[in-house]
Structure 1
Amino acid sequence: MTNTTKTIQELNLSDGFLFAKVMDDKEICRKVLEKILGISIREVSMPARQRTAAIPYEEKSMRFHAYDRKTVYNVEMECRNQEKAFLPKKARYYEESMDLDIISAGEYCGKLKKSFVIFICTFDPFSDGRHIYTFENRCREYPSLALGDEATKIFLNTKGTINDIDQEMQDLLSYMENTTDVFAAQAASPLVREIHKRVTEIKQNEDMADEYANYAVSFCESK
């Protein structure tokens, strides 16, 4: 996650602690998912999200689940460039895990929900310069034929160079690694400004500062 020399004021949204605290806000979570997916989401809940307290301080990723009535979302902030070769299998594992959370062995598979596995990466996972890579299952012999299993995997790249997203999405991805007052003030994205308001509240909250300090110290003591 973050370097032990960082203070809470120095954290970016790409740092696991801050990412988890911000995305714990259901309305922000909903709007971020809407922006990434380009769809309208009425409401989300997070009954099985991963809590910061359960994450080792040295981890460089933060994962959470979100649900609506017909869809399940798995979102992970991923900063481990050296492990990018394993991300496709990680996505496969998460997809299977989400399915098993919905139905038990032997249950009717028609109960499965539409699923999205989303990685927000601070590196280019496929080295093609894109900001977004979207995958779904299709017929190899007939590529226009989608399998229709309603399982989608999305990899976002904060360091993309191709003009493949709109300005608001570009602002959001850039903000992940430049979570500052200056950047938020000049960003064209209302979503970035809304997120930054929450970031500021977190960073100015004494209880949050204490929690973050304990979070960091617990790792140092375990080394």
Structure 2
Amino acid sequence: MEEIRNLKFSEWPMFNRVMEDDPDVCRRLLEVILDEPVERVENLTTERALEPHLGARGIRMDVLMRAGGKVYDVEMQASPARKLGRRMRYCQATMDTRELKKGRDYDALPDSFIVFICMRDEIGAGLPIYHLNMRCDESEDIAVDHGFQWIVLNASAWDKASAGSLRSLLQYVANGKADGDELVREIDSLVASANADAIWRARGVAMLTYVDEARIQTRIACKEAREEGLAEGRAEGEERLGALVARLLAEGRSDDAAAAAVDAECRQELFSEFGL
């Protein structure tokens, strides 16, 4: 029997497992990224599927966390993130819609943070970290009290970060090398513990395999559709099918996930079931 490989921290099943197993590690990871204190975690969920309203496109969030009245969405992005800015915009809109109840004033919206930890440079400027904030073109002195922050990490540029915990974290995401940083060593220990669970490790590898197969089948389907002038777009199709497969696997429906990757009729039925 072929040996099941170990999962890396940069792969979403492992990332979600580590964050869920020790929410305090997630809190400290955010402190390193944000460079500010994060209060005790009040609620943390992984693989959270959200839909802004019936019939709207749903999204799957890797780690959604609440601490000190603030909301944090942390995404591990190992594959290329096309249309990242618009994706973050939709994540923000979906989070805000969920947070602001009918009849409440806008000041009831909590401060929120969206963090994408990327293996590649999705912005293209060669920086290890990007803070993407709204500003006034006419005057940089004008502050816009929107209450949210978007941050994108580029693990491939870890060696350009200043010495410290952020550099250590980016290096670990990039190549799995755990240096003397305390947080990184704790994360590496949790990764080793999760990989020691052979049943879970096999399921995690299977989930990644299903998603990869789904992407391949989606690319084929999109190519055929483009030839007929009916394509919704490769990137959107991949994300949609990836979200479907992830939700099916999270519910233990591996057979349906496998079928969705290769059977167009079954795939459409499942899209309808989950409102994707």
Shorter-normalised TM range: 0.7 to 0.9
- What are the within-5 Å matches in structure 2 for residues 48-197 of structure 1? 48-50=45-47, 63-81=62-80, 83-84=81-82, 86-160=83-157, 163-179=160-176, 183-184=177-178, 187-197=179-189
Query: Contact between 2:69 and 2:110, CA under 8 Å: does it hold in 1?
Result: yes
Query: Contact between 2:23 and 2:44, CA under 8 Å: does it hold in 1?
Result: no
Query: Contact between 1:102 and 1:112, CA under 8 Å: does it hold in 2?
Result: yes
TM-score by length of 2: 0.66
Cα distance change of structure 1 residues 51 and 211 upon mapping to structure 2, 3 Å threshold: farther
1:46, distance to aligned residue in structure 2 (A): 3.7
Cα distance change of structure 1 residues 203 and 109 upon mapping to structure 2, 3 Å threshold: same
Query: Contact between 1:131 and 1:159, CA under 8 Å: does it hold in 2?
Result: yes
Q: Tell me, which stretches of 5 or more residues in structure 2 are unaligned?
A: 50-59, 211-253, 263-276
Structure 1 counterpart SS, 2:131: strand
Structure 2 counterpart SS, 1:130: coil
Give the number of aligned pairs: 203
More helix, by proportion: 2
1:48, distance to aligned residue in structure 2 (A): 4.5
4+ residue runs over 4 A deviation = 219-222
1:210, distance to aligned residue in structure 2 (A): 4.6
CA offsets, 1:85-139, max 9 Å, x none?
A: x100111111111111211244211111111111111111111110000022221
Question: Which one has the largest radius of gyration?
Answer: 2
1:195, distance to aligned residue in structure 2 (A): 0.4
**In 2, Cα distance between equivalents of 1:175 and 1:194:** 12
**In 2, Cα distance between equivalents of 1:145 and 1:162:** 34
Please say which of residues 39-48 and 17-26 is displaced more in the overlay: 39-48
**In 1, Cα distance between equivalents of 2:97 and 2:135:** 23
Structure 1 counterpart SS, 2:156: coil
State the partner residue of 2:4: 7
1:151, distance to aligned residue in structure 2 (A): 1.0
1:26, distance to aligned residue in structure 2 (A): 0.5
State the partner residue of 1:56: none
1:8, distance to aligned residue in structure 2 (A): 4.2
Structure 1 counterpart SS, 2:157: coil
Q: Tell me, which stretches of 5 or more residues in structure 1 are unaligned?
A: 53-60
TM-score by length of 1: 0.80
1:207, distance to aligned residue in structure 2 (A): 3.8
CA RMSD of aligned residues (A): 2.6
